[in-house]
Amino acid sequence: IYLFDGTLVAGYDRSNSLLEAVLEVAEYKSRAILGFSKESLLVRGAAEMELWDRDISPPYVRDLTGPIKSVWSGIKPLGSVFLVKLAPSLYPFRVDAYPAERGIDALSSLLSSDALIHGYPETLILAHTHATFSWMDVVAMRSTLLGQTSTAISSIFNQRLMVLTPFETRGHEDPT
């Protein structure tokens, strides 16, 4: 199983060909891909309310591929789309699966092979943790840019705080 952060959707951006190439490699190697989305309109809709109304306990998997393809004409899912709640947690997630026919099997394999933290795969949490910049990384990049170019960086508009603070994992470091 390959895990992705985000949807497996053919959209209007330039990453479309890259995503399709990754999907081809996965299919060639007989692998499945699961794309987890923490934020989605699907998660905030009526399907989520069904979880609460019927008091369904996890794991809960609902295939929403058909309704999505009929309602969203400009967005093309490249596999199956599920609303899932894999563990007793506060939130369900949107999970895209490719190839479409292997989605349920891939979710079953994930449940037996990866730890879940708040219903989210630990592997993706670790990827998020290790993909963020520390304060020292930002200082080093800024120093390098200033040394190699004649760019002036204004401290009035602090892009680092605006962009990176929500993802900062090192609370002991000074963000100024």
- Most confident by average pLDDT, 4-18, 24-38, 86-100, 129-143: 24-38
End-to-end CA distance of the chain: 41
Neighbours of 107 (CB within 10 A): 21
For residues 16-38, average pLDDT: 87
pLDDT exceeds cutoff 90 at 13:
no
Per residue in 100-140, pLDDT (tens digit) is: 899 999 999 999 999 988 888 888 888 877 777 777 887 88
For residues 4-19, average pLDDT: 74
